[in-house]
Amino acid sequence: MMKIEAIIREERLGHVKRALEEKGFVAMTVTRVLGRGEQKGIRLQYRGGSIEVDMLPKLKIEMFVRDEDVETVMRTVCDSARTGRFGDGRIFVMPVTISGKVRTGEVEGKLP
């Protein structure tokens, strides 16, 4: 099982949710975050100088998916979150060893 963390533009959430849902991936957790990428935010030019808007609001989507679904989910998120401009975000995938369902107490994976 893998955890997918995607940092995306706030305004793309509707597209991403819809695209994932069409492929059968519904469960997700969304958090409002602030961040900056390699371009260090946005620099706005004025006649008198410039101001740096460093930390831009983004959304972080967290999903837990089976190993064989990772590629589909990654592609779907990329395609639906993309605007083609700087600041579109990043996706991270990391292994999850154990997960449990609160309602049932059911555990997936081997407890140590």
Partner 1 sequence: MAIDTGDTAWIMISAALVMLMTPGVGLFYGGLVRSKSVISMISLSILAISLASIQWVLIGYSISFGHDMMGLIGGLDFIFMRNVGMNEAPLAESVPHLAYMMFQLVFAAVTLAILTSAVAERIKLSSFIVLSILWTTLVYDPLAHWVWAGGWLASLGALDFAGGTVVHISSGFSALAIALVIGKRVGFDSYVLEPHNIPMAMIGAALLWFGWFGFNAGSALTAGGLAASAFVVTNTSAAAGALAWLLGSWLRGKPSALGMVSGAIAGLVAITPAAGYVDAMSALLIGAFAGLICYSALLFRVSIGLDESLDAWAVHGVGGLWGALATGIFANPAVNTYTGLIYGNTGQFTAQVVAVLASVAYAFVISYVLARLVDATIGLRVTEDEEYVGLDIAVHGEKAYA
Residue located via tokens 């975050």: 33
- Count residues binding partner 1 (CB under 8 A): 10
Give the nearer residue to partner 1 in terms of CB position, either 11 or 108. 11
Chain centroid to Cα 29, Å, comes to 9
Closest contact distance (angstroms) between CB of 42 and partner 1 is 5
Q: What's the sign of the alpha-carbon dihedral 28, 30, 35, 37?
A: positive
Closest contact distance (angstroms) between CB of 51 and partner 1 is 7
28 neighbors 61 (Cβ within 8 angstroms):
yes
Here's the x/- map for partner 1, 33-52, by CB under 8 A: it reads as: ---------x-x------x-
